DNA sequence: ATAGGGTTAG
């Protein structure tokens, strides 16, 4: 046992001394320090210095004027930084008259440890302005920060500095640069750098191989792998793992599993990282049989208790929809392991067992178990993917109260929830978070922000986020195109579609869905046909059902109903409910009874329990005053026990999302809302407006119809918004069904009468109302 | 006194 003297006392170990510190309290400790100030550095160097000790020592150093001692202050700086007290660390850094390389390095490393790469780079540039040059230890760290963001621009600048400062032959520096180029998606520059190296070690080879695998370049990765072996380097497990995880990452799951089999045949010993990766691939392939084989291999190898493997097994069975096997693995595991618990929460949610997932999470939270950021992210993702958007927001708040900080995965999991219910303020708060924690340049965060702002009606902010992204992928391009399409901006969607291709990004199935649906919002049939035909002819992508559905909508909305119907008859697949639904809703727009009945007949067979189809057909009949047929459809619905989905709208007022139901009789402000709507109705009638009774399904008398229209949830939400926000304040409403024609007219009137900008998002698209005009130009 | 590159749950 080591022992040492401090303050005239003999201590056996540091915890003993820590105890003494706690007992001694500040005065006693300061007294001891005073007498033996030469020992303070020794004490601060010990491994178990807590934050309170750091503060105590800091106080002492300030009091005694020792703060001029650069060694001491740098040590303090590092202690603060490693306790993630960046405010204190910065204060100290700024108080040092001539900070040196050590001071900056400490802070940069600490920021990088937390993945706060933006902050790392800021401190780095601060260091450069002090005229201090990095050493061979600092360069790899800063390059890694560029890769982590990722920022190709900063990475290239750094590469320049490295070249002129003569560090480019350092193996660590080289590997970090190579990794940076790969992370930024610049395979060619990475390979050029690789070619220029005189010495290549295992790490460099592995990095490049993993890079190629990650980008789905199977052949290049394999060639490199064999070249590496020809060069006399044996792959030690990391190279194999790099390939397997790389293939996984680019969605080449069968390549990943066959690589694992090869590795096994060649006699290499897989480690827990290998098994975890291959199990993840097996899960994505839903290859239950192979899963069982690897499971038994794991047991044979005695790797069963490995924590990573347990959660990978749970994950694999979850992906294979084998919830029974999944629970078995969990029940046999050490149930106090967070990894296993997280995998279970995700597995349950993935299989639609949302309530079980929530219940499991709550149970784990009640135990001694320390839930981590992955646990919270999993449950937040579960909620935002399953329509529990309010719960997702609430859990995010609860997580922060527990002292956990969101990261670059949490934010993109939360943002869809904000978008779904148009909680703009919550979305903006999440955006601020991402800037503060330095992840706003992350491509997943960026794409999720684009989507969130678009769904919240702020497409100009989507464009701003898009412009600011240092790196974009297919998802980012699709997100901005989907945003413009949703806002009915066909021109912008098409421009983006072409700009994407100019940038070298190839479109996929979703890109075409976006551009086709944009065309359908504006009735651009020629353009629609052009893109539809170019799919297979120019891009080698075969149109799927959803593209046919888009074309049916496009033709149908534009009034070319017969053309739409003949397209359905010609299509190479059996038309599904989406395709017939597109035809039926177009028939509703143009009130075409004949084709509407045909479409409805197919839909009643395909999805007999969807009330929406019956409502549409009945609307078509009602528009032609065919009340007997309306009754017949209503009787069909009644006999099957089906009811119209209740209309529901949301509006964010004072940072809170409010939900209003059609004909809501319980709302606390119901009286004021109805009064407001009645007043507006009087004004509207004065200006020559009459309610459009076509949009009322029932054959009731005129006054009742007026009342039913007044009860539409989007009108209630707008009245609620008018009552609870200052005049001139824009209103944003979302609705769970399509906006009704009468509401459309009324909202146009309100926008001019009240002088408000009003946007309404329905299931299909956005309507922006201003000065009595709607952005859809009444084509929808 | 600070500290380095490749693989690693959501």
Q: Which comes out higher in pLDDT, residue A378 or A72?
A: A378
Token pair, residue A329, equals: 């693995």
How much is the average pLDDT of A238-245?
84
- Write the CA distances from A412 to A82, A249, A451, integer angstroms: 27, 18, 10
Contact criterion met (CB below 8 Å) for A311 and A340:
yes
* Closest-lying nucleotide for A410 based on CA to C1': B10
At residue A698, the pLDDT reads 52
What is the spatial distance between Cα A581 and Cα A155, in angstroms, rounded to a whole number?
A: 51
Q: What is the pLDDT of residues A317-328, one digit of tens each?
A: 999 999 999 999
What is the spatial distance between Cα A439 and Cα A150, in angstroms, rounded to a whole number?
A: 9
Q: Please name the residue whose C-alpha is nearest to the C1' of nucleotide B7.
A: A242
Residue A588 pLDDT > 50, yes or no? yes
* Of the candidate ranges A67-76, A247-256, A719-728, A744-753, the one whose mean pLDDT is the lowest: A67-76
Nucleic acid strand B within 7 Å of A407 CB: yes
Residue A47 pLDDT > 60, yes or no? no
Nucleic acid strand B within 7 Å of A101 CB: yes
At residue A34, the pLDDT reads 56
Q: What is the pLDDT of residues A321-376, one digit of tens each?
A: 999 999 999 998 877 788 899 999 999 999 989 999 999 999 998 887 888 888 99
Residue A294 pLDDT > 80, yes or no? yes
At residue A245, the pLDDT reads 85
Q: What is the pLDDT of residues A429-450, one digit of tens each?
A: 999 988 887 788 888 999 999 9
What is the spatial distance between Cα A768 and Cα A244, in angstroms, rounded to a whole number?
A: 48
Q: What is the pLDDT of residues A637-646, one digit of tens each?
A: 999 998 888 8
Query: Which residues 332-391 of A interface with strand B at a CB distance below 7 A?
Result: 338-339, 342-343, 346, 372-374, 377-378, 381
Residue A97 pLDDT > 90, yes or no? no
| DSSP E strand stretches across A75-231 | none
Local confidence band at A35 (pLDDT 50, 70, 90 cut-offs): low
* Closest-lying nucleotide for A339 based on CA to C1': B9
Q: Where are the domains of chain A?
A: 655-774
Radius of gyration of chain A (CA): 32
Residue whose structure tokens are 């989406």: A578
Local confidence band at A75 (pLDDT 50, 70, 90 cut-offs): confident
Q: How far is the CA of A431 from the C1' of B10 (A)?
A: 19
Burial string for A611-640 (b: 16+ CB within 10 Å, else e) reads ebbbbbbbbbbbbeeeeebbeebbeebeee
* Closest-lying nucleotide for A409 based on CA to C1': B10
* Of the candidate ranges A23-27, A316-320, A416-420, A540-544, the one whose mean pLDDT is the lowest: A23-27
Query: HSE-up of A434 (CA within 13 Å, CB side)?
Result: 27
Q: How far is the CA of A404 from the C1' of B3 (A)?
A: 27
* Closest-lying nucleotide for A199 based on CA to C1': B5
Query: Which residues 627-666 of A interface with strand B at a CB distance below 7 A?
Result: none
Contact criterion met (CB below 8 Å) for A576 and A607:
no
Which nucleotides along chain B are within 7 A of a protein C-beta?
1-10
How much is the average pLDDT of A206-235?
84
Q: What is the pLDDT of residues A613-636, one digit of tens each?
A: 999 999 899 989 999 999 999 999
Q: How far is the CA of A486 from the C1' of B8 (A)?
A: 39
* Of the candidate ranges A65-69, A475-479, A513-517, A633-637, the one whose mean pLDDT is the lowest: A65-69
Query: Which residues 163-182 of A interface with strand B at a CB distance below 7 A?
Result: 170-176, 179
Q: How far is the CA of A175 from the C1' of B5 (A)?
A: 5
Q: Which comes out higher in pLDDT, residue A767 or A66?
A: A767
At residue A484, the pLDDT reads 96
Q: What is the pLDDT of residues A726-739, one digit of tens each?
A: 999 999 999 988 88
Q: Could you tell me how many helices (H) and strands (E) chain A has, helices first?
A: 41, 8
At residue A779, the pLDDT reads 81
At residue A448, the pLDDT reads 95
Local confidence band at A679 (pLDDT 50, 70, 90 cut-offs): very high
Nucleic acid strand B within 7 Å of A136 CB: yes
Query: Which residues 218-237 of A interface with strand B at a CB distance below 7 A?
Result: 236
* Closest-lying nucleotide for A206 based on CA to C1': B6
Query: Which residues 408-427 of A interface with strand B at a CB distance below 7 A?
Result: 409-410, 413
Overall size of chain A counted in residues: 780
* Closest-lying nucleotide for A178 based on CA to C1': B5
At residue A15, the pLDDT reads 44
Residue A18 pLDDT > 50, yes or no? no
Q: How far is the CA of A482 from the C1' of B5 (A)?
A: 39
At residue A227, the pLDDT reads 87
Query: Which residues 1-30 of A interface with strand B at a CB distance below 7 A?
Result: none
Query: Which residues 271-290 of A interface with strand B at a CB distance below 7 A?
Result: 273, 276-277, 280
At residue A248, the pLDDT reads 85
At residue A405, the pLDDT reads 83
At residue A14, the pLDDT reads 43
Residue whose structure tokens are 């697949």: A573
Q: How far is the CA of A280 from the C1' of B8 (A)?
A: 12
Q: Please name the residue whose C-alpha is nearest to the C1' of nucleotide B8.
A: A273
Local confidence band at A117 (pLDDT 50, 70, 90 cut-offs): confident
At residue A690, the pLDDT reads 65
Query: Which residues 305-324 of A interface with strand B at a CB distance below 7 A?
Result: 307-308, 311, 315
Q: How far is the CA of A179 from the C1' of B5 (A)?
A: 8
Local confidence band at A19 (pLDDT 50, 70, 90 cut-offs): very low
At residue A279, φ and ψ (nearest 5 deg) are -65, -35
* Of the candidate ranges A232-236, A244-248, A383-387, A545-549, the one whose mean pLDDT is the lowest: A232-236
Nucleic acid strand B within 7 Å of A54 CB: no
3-state DSSP percent of chain A in helix, strand and coil, to 5:
70, 5, 30
Local confidence band at A39 (pLDDT 50, 70, 90 cut-offs): low
* Closest-lying nucleotide for A101 based on CA to C1': B2
pTM: 0.79
At residue A531, the pLDDT reads 95
Local confidence band at A532 (pLDDT 50, 70, 90 cut-offs): very high
Q: How far is the CA of A237 from the C1' of B3 (A)?
A: 26
Query: Which residues 493-532 of A interface with strand B at a CB distance below 7 A?
Result: none
Q: How far is the CA of A282 from the C1' of B2 (A)?
A: 43
Q: How far is the CA of A273 from the C1' of B4 (A)?
A: 23
Nucleic acid strand B within 7 Å of A120 CB: no
At residue A246, the pLDDT reads 84
Q: Please name the residue whose C-alpha is nearest to the C1' of nucleotide B3.
A: A137
What is the spatial distance between Cα A299 and Cα A111, in angstroms, rounded to a whole number?
A: 40
Q: In sequence order, what are the residues at sequence separation of 6 or more whose Cβ sits closer than 8 angstroms to the Cβ of residue A321?
A: A286, A351
Q: How far is the CA of A425 from the C1' of B3 (A)?
A: 41
At residue A668, φ and ψ (nearest 5 deg) are -65, -30
At residue A438, the pLDDT reads 73
| DSSP E strand stretches across A212-319 | none
Three-class DSSP category at A586: helix
If you average pLDDT over every residue of chain A, what do you get?
A: 86
- Write the CA distances from A710 to A478, A645, A659, A716, A780, integer angstroms: 38, 17, 16, 8, 22
* Closest-lying nucleotide for A315 based on CA to C1': B9
């Amino acid at each position: 046992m080591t022992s040492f003297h401090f303050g005239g006392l003999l201590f056996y170990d540091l915890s003993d001394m820590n105890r003494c510190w706690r007992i001694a309290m500040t005065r006693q400790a300061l007294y001891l320090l005073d007498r033996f100030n030469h020992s303070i550095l020794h004490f601060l160097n010990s491994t178990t210095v807590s934050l309170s000790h750091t503060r105590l020592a800091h106080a002492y150093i300030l009091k005694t004027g020792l703060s001029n001692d650069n060694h001491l202050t740098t040590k303090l700086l590092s202690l603060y930084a490693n306790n993630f007290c960046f405010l204190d660390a910065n204060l100290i850094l700024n108080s040092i008259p001539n900070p040196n390389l050590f001071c900056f390095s400490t802070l940069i490393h600490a920021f990088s440890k937390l993945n706060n790469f933006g902050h790392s780079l800021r401190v780095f540039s601060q260091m450069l302005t002090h005229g201090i040059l990095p050493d061979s230890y600092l360069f790899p760290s800063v390059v890694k920060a560029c890769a982590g963001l990722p920022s190709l621009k900063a990475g290239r600048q750094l590469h320049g500095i490295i070249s002129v400062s003569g560090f480019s032959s350092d193996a660590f520096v080289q590997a970090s640069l190579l990794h940076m180029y790969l992370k930024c998606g610049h395979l060619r520059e990475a390979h050029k750098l690789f070619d220029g190296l005189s010495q290549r070690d295992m790490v460099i080879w592995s990095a490049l191989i993993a890079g190629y695998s990650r980008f789905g370049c199977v052949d290049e990765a394999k060639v490199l792998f064999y070249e590496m072996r020809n060069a006399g380097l044996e792959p030690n497990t990391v190279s194999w793992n790099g390939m397997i995880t790389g293939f996984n990452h680019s969605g080449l799951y069968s390549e990943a599993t066959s690589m694992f089999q090869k590795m096994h045949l060649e006699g290499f010993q897989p480690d827990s990282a290998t098994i975890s990766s291959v199990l993840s691939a097996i899960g994505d392939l839903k290859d239950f049989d192979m899963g069982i084989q690897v499971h038994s291999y794991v047991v044979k190898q005695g790797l069963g208790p490995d924590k990573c493997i347990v959660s990978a097994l749970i994950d694999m069975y979850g992906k294979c929809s084998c919830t029974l096997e999944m629970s078995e693995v969990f029940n046999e595991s050490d149930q106090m392991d967070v990894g296993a618990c997280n995998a279970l929460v995700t597995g349950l949610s993935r299989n639609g067992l949302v309530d079980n997932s929530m219940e499991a999470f709550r149970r784990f939270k009640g135990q001694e178990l320390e839930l981590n950021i992955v646990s919270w992210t999993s449950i937040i993702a579960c909620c935002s993917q399953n329509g529990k958007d309010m719960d997702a927001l609430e859990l995010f708040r609860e997580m922060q109260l527990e002292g956990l900080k969101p990261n670059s995965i949490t934010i993109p999991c939360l943002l869809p929830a904000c978008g779904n219910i148009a909680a703009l303020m919550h979305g903006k708060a999440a955006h601020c978070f991402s800037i503060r924690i330095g992840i706003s340049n992350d491509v997943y965060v960026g794409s999720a922000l684009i989507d969130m702002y678009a769904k919240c009606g702020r497409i100009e902010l989507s464009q701003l986020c898009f412009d600011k992204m240092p790196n974009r992928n297919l998802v980012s391009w699709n997100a901005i195109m989907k945003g413009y399409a949703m806002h009915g901006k066909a021109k912008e969607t098409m421009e983006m579609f072409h700009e994407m291709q100019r940038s070298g990004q190839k479109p996929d199935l979703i890109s075409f869905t976006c551009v086709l649906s944009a065309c359908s919002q504006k009735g651009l049939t020629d353009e629609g046909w052009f893109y539809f035909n170019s799919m297979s002819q120019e891009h080698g992508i075969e149109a799927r059902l959803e593209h046919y559905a888009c074309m049916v909508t496009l033709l149908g909305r534009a009034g070319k109903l017969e053309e739409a119907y003949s397209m359905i008859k010609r299509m190479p697949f059996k038309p599904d409910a989406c395709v017939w639904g597109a035809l039926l809703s177009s028939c509703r727009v143009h009130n075409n009874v004949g084709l509407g009945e045909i479409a409805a007949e197919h839909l009643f067979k395909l999805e007999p329990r969807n009330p929406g189809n019956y409502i549409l057909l009945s609307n078509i009949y009602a528009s032609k005053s065919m009340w007997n047929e309306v009754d017949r459809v209503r009787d069909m619905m009644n006999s099957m026990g089906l009811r119209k989905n209740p209309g529901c709208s949301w509006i964010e007022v004072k940072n809170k999302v409010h939900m209003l139901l059609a004909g809501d009789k319980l709302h606390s402000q119901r009286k004021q809302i109805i009064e407001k709507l009645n007043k507006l109705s009087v004004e509207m009638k004065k200006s020559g407006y009459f309610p459009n009774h076509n949009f009322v399904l029932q054959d009731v008398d005129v006054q009742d119809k007026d009342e039913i229209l007044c009860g539409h949830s989007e009108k209630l939400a707008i009245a609620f918004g008018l009552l609870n926000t200052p005049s001139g304040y824009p209103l944003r409403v979302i609705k769970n069904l399509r906006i009704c024609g009468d509401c459309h007219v009324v909202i146009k009137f309100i926008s001019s009468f009240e002088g408000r900008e009003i946007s309404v998002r329905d299931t299909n698209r956005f309507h922006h109302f201003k000065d009595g005009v709607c952005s859809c130009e009444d084509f929808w």
